[in-house]
Structure 1
Amino acid sequence: MQSPDQPVLRDIVLVGGGHSHVGVLKSFGMNPVPGVRLTLICRDTDTPYSGMLPGYIAGHYSHDDVHIDLNTLAAFAGARFFRDEVIGLDRAAGKVICRNRPPVPYDSLSINIGSAPQIGQVPGAADHAVAVKPIHLFNERWLALLARVQQHAGKTRIAVVGAGAGGVELTLAMQHRLRGELRALGRDPNELAFHLFSNTADILPTHNPRVRQTFKRVLTERQVVLHLNSEVTQVSERGIKTSDGTLMEMDEIVWVTQAGGATWLRQTGLALDEHGFIQVNDHLQSISDPAVFAAGDIAAFTSRPLPKAGVFAVRQGKPLAANLRRSVLGEPLVSYRPQRNWLALISTGDRFAVASRGALSWQGEWVWRWKDWIDRRFMDKFQNFPAMDASAMGQAAPSRVKLDQEEAAQAISAIAMRCGGCGAKVGATVLSRALGALQPIHRDDVLIGLHAPDDAAVVRVPPGKAMVHSVDFFRAFIDDPYLFGKVAANHALGDIFAMGGEAQSATAVATVPSGLEAKVEDVLFQMMTGAVEVLNEAGCALVGGHTGEGKELALGFAINGLVDEDLHTVLKKGGMRAGDVLLLTKPIGTGTLFAAHARLKTRGRWIDAALVSMIQSNRLGAQCLQAHGATACTDLTGFGLLGHLVEMTRPSGVDAELYLSALPLLDGALETSAAGILSSLQPANVRLRRALRNQAEAIAHPAYPLIFDPQTAGGLLASVPAARADACIAALRKLGYHHTVAIGRILPQGDALEPIVLKC
């Protein structure tokens, strides 16, 4: 992993989570390069292993069995994981263009995105066929198709277009699974009719005659209708048309042919072949740009054509990792030597498989068991990670990255003893460039701000308004500065919204690790872009701030808000009344989840869901609570649910009953807390258990530890009159707070010293 003591000197960016790139990530995790930062950009957190995908479709494997968690793998590799879709390159500036975030700079770039369906060449196919490629999108399409077949009354006719190994294996896997599903529903499996279309005179053209004959026999035995020399020329809602003019009605059409390169590659200026794949030399390096590498299906190996088979992508991982290292170290590149013959293990849907290598062939249940063993061993490399020596990582060797004279001087400065005081500020040039591209919202009541910088901002307080002040600051807990900026700004705004205020202005305080000026500038720009997007959406003007160097990335904001000066509309903590219903607008569990993420003990989709929750603003929620007569409100942050509830009951002079079973929880929070993985702040929060009247009865409840879990950018905890609670919950859910639920009720204050009653 990247040592925080090592300044970032070079950026390697990986686009796509294909089989080659997972090998690169594992390699860098085992042997990092000091001064080199790795960034993975991929639109999906889970990437499927193609070798096990037919087994998953057939029902032999679970989703997690066949998917690699890129978020966790990237964390092991010390890489930043940016979940986004790449839509272009600015090669002149050395930047990757993403759909939903600022451009990402690179020194070396690798592309491993697989192939994309070219079904647009066949009229109607894009609208009416289910494309297998790109493979990372197939799961959602497969689940939708599965549901449609289950719900389809009567006979279902399924066409698979493409009779290579992928099409044949997919046909048999789908048939095996769907027949089983119909049996489970008490329906006749023979309601299914499968048709396999090949535009050539045979199936499996890259395999030997014995293999082809075996699969022809299997297809015949399973009553799959084989259409040879039948090129599909048109697809409609009702079915397909072939080159000889034959029209056939079909209910579902799966497309497993005519794959090519992603359309955005055509605008990059990279040399592509006739199918849109990136042409690469023996070093897996673009023949037109030495800073760009490509591997897997997206690469067109110029020395000789290679089949689009996963075995090549897997084996390209090792030389690709070596060449990415060598490219930033200024060392000679190594050559990739593809094998002439390769082993293909093709399953027949059930637990039976055929082995194919050159002119050789074997088959049987033992071949399937052999394939299963190979596949599981491959997946284990990316699902179970060796423990890394933290002390060794912190004492990484000096960087050998190749730098020019100016960069070398900056690098020496970055690793030298750093000054304190104002000497720790980020340089004015870097700061002005990073912030110059930001566009904070304009407000008429901001008299002096970033549009005309001075020693301090000047903000007018409108007549009849009073100021609400709040400040928050914390270090980064994720490697994505753009998302971190969003969360930090949202968290800081939470106190203003929880009091029913309008956010007016924000002043930022940031620390950024030292490094080359370009690297510091980009991190600051990424982070502040995310933050300004959130502030602008809230109508809050960024008016200034301070940026300095620090060991870790950190960000905070002092927020000024406005409320009516008579305070009648202010939501305070102390207004709870007996009989009120206690509401919570977001699920809890961020503390345990991110503690587990740091230990590689989470699933990436859990972290994705947590970040979605953390980025959701509380602004509309607070307005809704006000409109429904909320009597008290606060936002959940570091003290956890119990700590903030105690902060409300004490000044209100009431007790509260908390329903443990009703608590909305983030996916994975129960699993990580049950494993004993808790936030470092948890022990301090647990001391508040003295406020619990009957904890001995509730301590065994699985949600019990989570009432102490510190939250970042958590939801709103509010009391609402019972008569208006249901309407308030419905309104909040309609606004997008889908997890809003009643988690308790407010009681009259009793004689006991413990104000909180737990109910399981």
Structure 2
Amino acid sequence: MQSSEQPVLRDIVLVGGGHSHVGVLRRFGMKPVPGVRLTLICRDTHTPYSGMLPGYIAGHYAYDEVHIDLSRLAEFAGARFYRAEAVGLDREARRVICRDRPPVPYDRLSINIGSTPQLGEVDGASDHAVPVKPIHRFNDRWLALLTRVQRHPGRTTIAVVGGGAGGVELVLAMQYRLRHELEAQGRDPAELEFHLFTRSAEVLPTHAPPVRERFRRTLAARGVRLHTGSEVTRVDEGGLVTASGEHFAADEVVWVTRAGGAPWLRDTGLALDGQGFIRVSDTLQTVTDPNVFAAGDIASMDHHPREKAGVFAVRQGPPLARNLRRAVQGRPLRPYRPQRRWLALISTGDRHAIASRGAFHAEGDWVWRWKDWIDRRFMARFRDLPAMDEEGKAPKSEVALEGEEARQAISAVAMRCGGCGAKVGASTLSRALGALQPVDREDVLIGLHAPDDAAVVRVPPGKAMVHTVDFFRAFIDDPYVFGQVAANHALGDIFAMGAEAQSATAIATVPQGLEAKVEDTVYQMMSGALEILNDADCALVGGHTGEGRELALGFAVNGLIDDAAEDVMRKGGMQAGDVLILTKPVGTGTLFAAHARLAARGRWIDAALASMCQSNRRAAQCLHQHGATACTDVTGFGLLGHLVEMTRPSGVDASLDLAKLPVLEGAEETVAAGILSSLQPANVRLRRALRNQEEVAGHPRYPLVFDPQTAGGLLASVPAARADACVAALRALGYPHTAIIGRVEAQGEALEPIRLIA
């Protein structure tokens, strides 16, 4: 992971996690450019390596063996990872338009999103065929098919459309895996029927005749019926129809052909070829816009047309990284010339493969082992990331700047003022906040966009005010998501008390830099926060933003509650015989400590962030409706610390069942590896509250009762008779990990109030 004292001067944005971009990230991680920030925008956290996908389908590799963890790779590269989908470009403003989040500005942009199946060209294909891309959707469908074949005996017919290397490898891999699944159950493999359709006269039309003939024989020997010269013109619920009008019944139609560019590219103004791919020059810049690059399948080189193959995307990584680096440095770019011929190693599903390069060909199990060695070596480059040198003095930036930008850069690097001089400039702040639309409330008299010294809110008759404040530095590199988590965390105390949120004031710290970079960071962060605040009907009424070394955000939140004391849910009030309910899983502290050390899988972080972004508002209402006697939100003190805070004022003891504790995926693995939050040691001091600490200290979940949480769930005591109904209601509201984790007991003679059940 890279960090730098150098302010951000230029933004390189990478759209898509293809083979070229993973190479760019690795190279920038090895040799960062001071003053240059990378941002990766990708819908998926784990990107597949196409060379190993047939082996995964055939069962030779596990999921993680064939996928590159983009979250971990971006962390290594010092890049921001935005898990989002790009849907357009505003090239005039130099912004990437994303689905469900604010636009992302760029100085240089690179697109590596692969190709998109053009199902719309064939009647019914969009509704009834399974495209092999995007891979995550195909994987879900493949696993469902695998389960269906395993559990439901009977005939299953699978049709694969596409006679290139991808289609041939896929049908042979599927046939091999499913056949062996049936044989393992003692069933007849003849239950399975496979068809391969291609409109060409031959399979693998770009390869030498001996290679085509060898695959013809392999398909026949494996019982795959080959339909050459058979263009598919329609797909329906029962199968497919060819140009000759013949209907073929099929339970599953898999689409591995007719790929083109993503539809949104047509509205970018970039020059595209006949298939919708982005036309690029020898420098991998688009022929339309020198600030936009493209590589991999989505790119079409004007002077060097080549078929779509993963080898080109991989080999474009180094020249793309070099030219992006040179572009922000104001240096001349270097041309790239792809090779005319390349080696293709095409597997037959059964740990056997055929090598093809021009007229050369070879086959055998040894070819598969060779391919396996090449593929594993490639993947190791992104799994076994090299250790980085310790940080020294920040090197001077080589980014080319002129005029006002150069003056701002000098100011950003120079010693900054303290006090009010550390505030973010008024014009920068007003532009960033001007586009925000906080929710309107009648009781907010003067709010965010009113030019006054303070906000003014009215307290309705019969209501009491509830106040809370939270503030912490960023622990993820996406300011939009960080804003969501920070707002959700601050609101948690309000909801835990049984109150409704009324208004919030923000306090933010933003690293210094060019005004445009600071403005975007503030806008991204506050957009995320405002999404959460508006959903809670909480009006953002003002705040303060200053410069500092690290991004940080907090909120002072005001809430309203009926002034009758019985309507307040407090930490005290637990009754012996109540059960303890927890609405969210624990583990955020250890997971993000592991993330910073490149020791967490991206999907673990995705799940943790999804949990942290989920509001506790409806959960609190549900707990109140089911008679909760006490409630608190689980945050920095960890589960044990907050439970102790509840038992003491309640005058009770409690037991926790470690086996029933909901835990985020990956948290047990990271604590077992000894990776703990920096706050963990302070929380562990509370072990003195445990009656049987020595008995349970070796339990794998024991460290997690001390794990500090950010935007954690609610811990509540509920009368035992109403507990099951409460849990069912919470799960129905979208809190699927809700669990009964213990009981409230009468206070005993022991000084320690908590007993853990192993």
Q: TM-score, normalised by structure 1?
A: 0.99
| % identical equivalent positions | 75
In structure 1, what is the equivalent of residue 246 of structure 2?
246
Helix, strand or coil: the match of 2:572? helix
Give, as a single letter, the amino acid of the residue that structure 1 aligns with 2:564: D
- Kindly report which structure 2 residues correspond to 1:84-483, keeping only aligned pairs within 5 A, or say none: 84-392=84-392, 395-483=393-481
Q: Distance in 2 between matches of 1:711 and 1:135?
A: 33
| Superposition deviation, residue 347 in structure 1 | 0.6
| Superposition deviation, residue 304 in structure 1 | 2.4
Q: What do the CA deviations read for 1:44-92 (whole angstroms, capped 9, x no partner)?
A: 0000000000000000000000000000000000000000111100011
Helix, strand or coil: the match of 2:180? helix
Q: Distance in 2 between matches of 1:156 and 1:139?
A: 18
CA contact (8 A) 2:4 2:34 kept: no
> Does structure 1 residue 702 correspond to structure 2 residue 693?
no
| Superposition deviation, residue 171 in structure 1 | 0.8
Give, as a single letter, the amino acid of the residue that structure 1 aligns with 2:579: V
Q: Distance in 2 between matches of 1:183 and 1:713?
A: 49
Give, as a single letter, the amino acid of the residue that structure 1 aligns with 2:29: G
Q: Distance in 2 between matches of 1:532 and 1:310?
A: 41
Give, as a single letter, the amino acid of the residue that structure 2 aligns with 1:482: Y
Q: What do the CA deviations read for 1:584-617 (whole angstroms, capped 9, x no partner)?
A: 0000000000000000000000000000000000
Aligned length: 758
Q: Distance in 2 between matches of 1:106 and 1:500?
A: 43
| Superposition deviation, residue 136 in structure 1 | 4.8
| Superposition deviation, residue 151 in structure 1 | 4.4
In structure 2, what is the equivalent of residue 624 of structure 1?
622
Q: Distance in 2 between matches of 1:304 and 1:441?
A: 54
Residue of structure 2 aligned with 1:602, choices 590, 600, 603: 600
> Does structure 1 residue 550 correspond to structure 2 residue 560?
no
In structure 2, what is the equivalent of residue 11 of structure 1?
11
CA contact (8 A) 2:304 2:337 kept: no
In structure 1, what is the equivalent of residue 33 of structure 2?
33
CA contact (8 A) 1:440 1:542 kept: yes
Q: Distance in 2 between matches of 1:389 and 1:632?
A: 50
Q: What do the CA deviations read for 1:513-558 (whole angstroms, capped 9, x no partner)?
A: 0000000000000000000110011011111100000000000000
Q: TM-score, normalised by structure 2?
A: 0.99
Q: Distance in 2 between matches of 1:458 and 1:486?
A: 25
Q: Distance in 2 between matches of 1:533 and 1:424?
A: 27
In structure 2, what is the equivalent of residue 79 of structure 1?
79
Helix, strand or coil: the match of 2:603? helix
| Superposition deviation, residue 247 in structure 1 | 1.8
Q: What do the CA deviations read for 1:368-392 (whole angstroms, capped 9, x no partner)?
A: 1110000000000011111112323
In structure 1, what is the equivalent of residue 756 of structure 2?
758
Give, as a single letter, the amino acid of the residue that structure 1 aligns with 2:272: L
CA RMSD of aligned residues (A): 1.0
Q: Distance in 1 between matches of 2:276 and 2:744?
A: 64
Helix, strand or coil: the match of 2:567? coil
In structure 2, what is the equivalent of residue 669 of structure 1?
667
Give, as a single letter, the amino acid of the residue that structure 2 aligns with 1:101: R
| Superposition deviation, residue 453 in structure 1 | 2.9
Give, as a single letter, the amino acid of the residue that structure 1 aligns with 2:103: P
Q: Distance in 1 between matches of 2:516 and 2:449?
A: 24
CA contact (8 A) 1:2 1:37 kept: no
Q: Distance in 1 between matches of 2:268 and 2:696?
A: 60
Give, as a single letter, the amino acid of the residue that structure 2 aligns with 1:653: G
Q: Distance in 2 between matches of 1:451 and 1:341?
A: 62
CA contact (8 A) 1:508 1:544 kept: yes
Helix, strand or coil: the match of 2:558? strand
| Superposition deviation, residue 2 in structure 1 | 4.5
Q: Distance in 2 between matches of 1:418 and 1:451?
A: 28
Helix, strand or coil: the match of 2:166? helix
CA contact (8 A) 1:3 1:34 kept: no
Q: Distance in 1 between matches of 2:30 and 2:138?
A: 31
Helix, strand or coil: the match of 2:433? helix
> Does structure 1 residue 712 correspond to structure 2 residue 710?
yes
CA contact (8 A) 1:4 1:551 kept: no
Q: Distance in 1 between matches of 2:239 and 2:52?
A: 30
Q: Distance in 1 between matches of 2:241 and 2:508?
A: 62
| Superposition deviation, residue 218 in structure 1 | 0.7
Residue of structure 1 aligned with 2:719, choices 694, 700, 721: 721
Instruction: Show structure 2 runs of 5+ residues with no match.
Output: none
Give, as a single letter, the amino acid of the residue that structure 2 aligns with 1:381: R
CA contact (8 A) 1:488 1:555 kept: yes
Helix, strand or coil: the match of 2:253? strand
Q: Distance in 1 between matches of 2:212 and 2:223?
A: 16
> Does structure 1 residue 687 correspond to structure 2 residue 685?
yes
| Superposition deviation, residue 153 in structure 1 | 3.8
Q: Distance in 1 between matches of 2:643 and 2:591?
A: 22
Helix, strand or coil: the match of 1:160? strand
Instruction: Show structure 1 runs of 5+ residues with no match.
Output: none
Helix, strand or coil: the match of 2:503? strand
- Kindly report which structure 2 residues correspond to 1:529-608, keeping only aligned pairs within 5 A, or say none: 529-608=527-606
Q: Distance in 1 between matches of 2:3 and 2:627?
A: 51
Helix, strand or coil: the match of 2:482? helix
Q: What do the CA deviations read for 1:262-308 (whole angstroms, capped 9, x no partner)?
A: 00000000000010000000011100000110001000111121110
Give, as a single letter, the amino acid of the residue that structure 1 aligns with 2:6: Q
| Superposition deviation, residue 396 in structure 1 | 2.8
Q: What do the CA deviations read for 1:554-585 (whole angstroms, capped 9, x no partner)?
A: 00000011111222100000101110101100
